[in-house]
Amino acid sequence: MRKIGLIAAAVAFISGGASAADILGRDGSAKDDFGPINKVDFNGIYIGVGGGGQFANIEVGNGFFDGIGADGLVGEAVLGYDIRRGSFVFGPRILGGFTNVNTEINGSDLGNIDAYVNFGGRVGVVFNRTLVYVHGGYEMMWLSSDIPALDSALNDADINAATAGLGVETILANNISLAIEGTYLHGLDDAEGAEGGRGVARLNFRF
């Protein structure tokens, strides 16, 4: 009877171990096909839409103006392609946005930042379901003004910026993730001397 009991206990132990192995990999981690959350792996084409806010400042530096300030809301879309190698992710992306950012000088309305396009990319590391990344790019902006002479000058100007920032993207559901990122802008060309910041939250969908 004692031998039969030992054999039954051994069979139960082996059976239990097999059941656990069906759920967990040999390293104790969940298998890739255990739950739909693992189907989003930060790899391939993705698109996203979102919104946020932006501010900017231009130091005129001639002693007459304190500077040109700008702030307002932003609506943004992204098209990107991620390449994943282990826990590392990198790839190119294009951002486009419309804004109602209003520029002021000494408290008076001067003009508006209407839209922008940013060509760049990102690189980051995946922690469980979250990607932490840095990003950078070259941004082209379009400005307008209700003052005819200034509007004409803005149309002829090259208003560009170099951008850099940090972001966090986490999985919400199968193929859907939430990204929150901050961006620093430093003016180039005719916008030299300008700088600003942008904060945006986006919902991304991965194909």
Say yes or no: 56 and 126 in one domain: yes
Q: Is the pLDDT score of 23 beyond 50?
A: no
CA 7 to CA 186: how far, in whole Å? Answer: 74
Parent domain of 24: 1-31
Say yes or no: 21 and 49 in one domain: no
Say yes or no: 18 and 84 in one domain: no
The predicted model gives 53-69 an average pLDDT of: 66
Segment holding 150, helix H or strand E: helix 148-156
pTM, two decimals, is 0.75
Say yes or no: 14 and 90 in one domain: no
Q: How much of the chain exceeds pLDDT 70, in percent? A: 73
3-state secondary structure of 67: coil
Q: Is the pLDDT score of 108 beyond 70?
A: no
